[in-house]
Structure 1
Amino acid sequence: MLTTPQPTIDPIALRRAFGTFVTGVTVITTRDSDGTPRGMTANSFTSVSLDPPLLLVCVGKVAASYAAFNASDSFAVNLLHEGQTDVSAVFASKAHDKFSAVSHDRVHTGAPILNGCLTWFDCTVHNRVDAGDHVVLIGAVQAFGTSPSAPLGFCRGRYASVKDPLPPGWLASHSMIVGYLIEADGNILLRSDGKGGWVLPSAKSRKAENELKLEGGDALTLLPDETFLYSVFDVADSDPGYLIYRARLSGASAAFTVPAGFKFFPLADLPYDDIPAREIQALLRRYSRERHDDRFSIYMDSGDGGRLARIDGGSQPWTQSPQDTEQEKP
């Protein structure tokens, strides 16, 4: 009985053929058994199901992080935007500590979420499928977030641009970006955006908290009597909107060990030219003027340029306000 010989597949030619499919660029992250963050770039990502919410990524068995991904019960997928080719390069390298120069946070499972990325998905492992020289991780999405930035594309072994990524009327998120304007000894705390610019520290909850958790596990203790709403505004119609609190750090800035990616700037020396959003520039200029007079206001965005409401007097707990003790909390 004659058999037809199977054709030999050239793996290099096959890789090039696979590479003609235009994809995004992701950084997949997890933690190993001792809690050390691990991550690598990957473009073998796809959605699987909306109900239940599932996605998948493929991890090569020769990858340095393979053992961590194969053993962990959770992972995150961080989709990169067009300005994050440097982040892609870091996680594609064999660098010993890839996370030292990249700001990241914990959201649900504890897998590292890269701050400022296009979109992120925080997942528990739904299933693992052995597939040749890769393992397929099917993740159950526990939390996610997105932004209106343009995605970083990849095709034929090179980065590719994606035009007009956000159709008119498409909203990137229904949530608010919650930022904190934190002062200590006349200095303002800012966070690196990973692209040479500076932004305000952010939080996950819209409710003002006495402790602000920072990326990497550190936390700031804030003075509760000096934490107030400071500004509410949009940057663009497609932006989720900003909710900014002003706050004071409990203790001196000199005694506070600043985590990597954060820095205190004197009010008189704020890096306005390195702050990408002009709205945040304007907010910091207003704060600098109001701190000089020690008289603050609240800004509310509106179609004709916004409104400022002046705040006079100090704060007091709601239950100590005589006219309000018998009324319900608003």
Structure 2
Amino acid sequence: MLTTGTAKIPTAIDPIALRRAFGTFVTGVTIITTRDTDGNPRGMTANSFTSVSLDPPLLLVCVAKSASSFAAFTTADSFAVNLLHEGQVDISATFASKSPDKFQSVNHDRVHTGAPILTDSLTWFDCTIYNRVDAGDHVILIGQVQAFGTSPSAPLGFCRGRYASVKDPLPSGWLASHNMIIGYLIEASGEILLRADGSGGWALPTAKRRKAGSELPLNDGKSLKLLSDNTFLYSIFDVADCDPGYLIYRARLADGGQGRDLPEDLRFFAIDKLPYDLIPTRELRAMLRRYVRERKQERFGIYMDSGDGGRLAMIEGEARSWHQAIQD
């Protein structure tokens, strides 16, 4: 600021120089995602991410008003922040572009709010909107964290307009997140229920709670009634050694599949015509093929992932209540 006598004349800020100055602060790289009013996944690269509060759990990101996804982020009631690891430079570049097929190159899923979660990311936060604040040429989105997951990968850094390597800061004894994606393998009348993943593929429907319940809530506010006595843990596995992992229950519909009234993103497939080529991950395909084999024998097992290919324990006989079992 220049001073002339007692008058202070403000000097103009050079926006290019200011941007360079801001860029000397080393940040991580995030992909922020949401769904537009038609339910389509939208996402963009951003490095303006900050933790805000632990109680309540809040974070913020800034979205430029010039961004093509700006309208989606300012009308949605939820969004996700996906922090990238050092091996995801190409994904950062894709989401920084105007490509119409950004989500074709990444595995993504729904966890809590329905916002797309990039399942291979370093860390993800699934948020509902807590507040929006207008700030110059950006809008600040303050999100309340509803679910999150992380992994022990090294982060992707960014400084002075370039990607930067960050020495892995993982402390000794660090454990990956305990949050997992809860999936349901639901059969009715010889068909399996699958959910569209928003990018032309199919996956299992997911739930918010780790414990199996008597119903599966759907995104439209409705729910599917399940036979609680026929809902069992079926498989636990990671995908490409990244967090979150999957916890899969097998279940049957309480009404036997009659009178189905499902959202557009859910569809039943005949058990001998499952679209394996449209299921995005090898692990999910392998799990479904195992289910088909075991169903023919009416003899099911529980699979648990391990470094040597996993463990499979077969279950014999009909299910009994805990009280019956301890009395025998």
TM-score by length of structure 2 reads 0.65
Q: How does 1:94-133 map to 2 (within 5 A)?
A: 107=112, 112-117=114-119, 118=121, 119-123=124-128, 125=130, 128=133, 131-133=135-137
Q: Structure 1: any 5+ residue segments left out of the alignment?
A: none
Letter in 2 for 1:177: I
Which residue does the alignment assign to 1:208?
212
2:296 to 292, 298, 311: 292
d(CA) in 1 for partners of 2:259, 2:139: 48
d(CA) in 2 for partners of 1:199, 1:132: 41
Residue 279 of structure 2 contacts residue 285 of structure 2 at CA under 8 Å; is this kept in 1? no
Which residue does the alignment assign to 1:271?
276
d(CA) in 2 for partners of 1:177, 1:285: 20
CA deviation string 1:78-109 (max 9, x = no partner): 226577978997898699xx9xxx977584xx
Q: How does 1:78-157 map to 2 (within 5 A)?
A: 78-79=81-82, 81=84, 107=112, 112-117=114-119, 118=121, 119-123=124-128, 125=130, 128=133, 131-139=135-143, 141-148=144-151
d(CA) in 2 for partners of 1:265, 1:151: 42
Q: How does 1:115-264 map to 2 (within 5 A)?
A: 115-117=117-119, 118=121, 119-123=124-128, 125=130, 128=133, 131-139=135-143, 141-148=144-151, 170-193=174-197, 198-215=202-219, 217=221, 219-233=223-237, 239=243, 241-249=245-253, 250-252=255-257, 255=260, 257=262, 259-260=264-265, 264=269
Of 244-253 and 258-267, the range deviating more from structure 2: 258-267
TM-score by length of structure 1 reads 0.65
Which residue does the alignment assign to 1:306?
311
Q: Structure 2: any 5+ residue segments left out of the alignment?
A: none
d(CA) in 2 for partners of 1:183, 1:10: 62
Q: Does 1:8 align with 2:27?
A: no
Residue 45 of structure 1 contacts residue 55 of structure 1 at CA under 8 Å; is this kept in 2? yes
Residue 116 of structure 1 contacts residue 193 of structure 1 at CA under 8 Å; is this kept in 2? no
Residue 202 of structure 1: CA displacement? Answer: 2.1
SS of alignment partner, residue 208 of structure 1: coil
Change (3 A) 1:197 1:150: farther
SS of alignment partner, residue 281 of structure 1: helix
Change (3 A) 1:25 1:257: same
Change (3 A) 1:146 1:253: farther
Q: Does 1:24 align with 2:29?
A: yes
Letter in 1 for 2:289: R
d(CA) in 1 for partners of 2:291, 2:258: 18
SS of alignment partner, residue 231 of structure 1: strand
CA deviation string 1:229-249 (max 9, x = no partner): 223345677645543211224
Letter in 2 for 1:308: A
> Identity, % of aligned pairs?
48
CA root-mean-square deviation: 5.1
Task: Count the aligned residue pairs.
Answer: 310
d(CA) in 1 for partners of 2:302, 2:199: 30
Residue 233 of structure 1 contacts residue 242 of structure 1 at CA under 8 Å; is this kept in 2? yes
Residue 33 of structure 2 contacts residue 81 of structure 2 at CA under 8 Å; is this kept in 1? yes
Larger % of strand: which? 2
SS of alignment partner, residue 147 of structure 2: strand
SS of alignment partner, residue 183 of structure 1: strand
d(CA) in 2 for partners of 1:234, 1:40: 24
Residue 35 of structure 2 contacts residue 115 of structure 2 at CA under 8 Å; is this kept in 1? no
Which residue does the alignment assign to 2:59?
55
Letter in 1 for 2:316: I
d(CA) in 1 for partners of 2:317, 2:132: 58
Letter in 2 for 1:25: T
Residue 199 of structure 1 contacts residue 275 of structure 1 at CA under 8 Å; is this kept in 2? yes
SS of alignment partner, residue 8 of structure 1: coil
Letter in 1 for 2:311: G
Residue 38 of structure 1 contacts residue 68 of structure 1 at CA under 8 Å; is this kept in 2? no
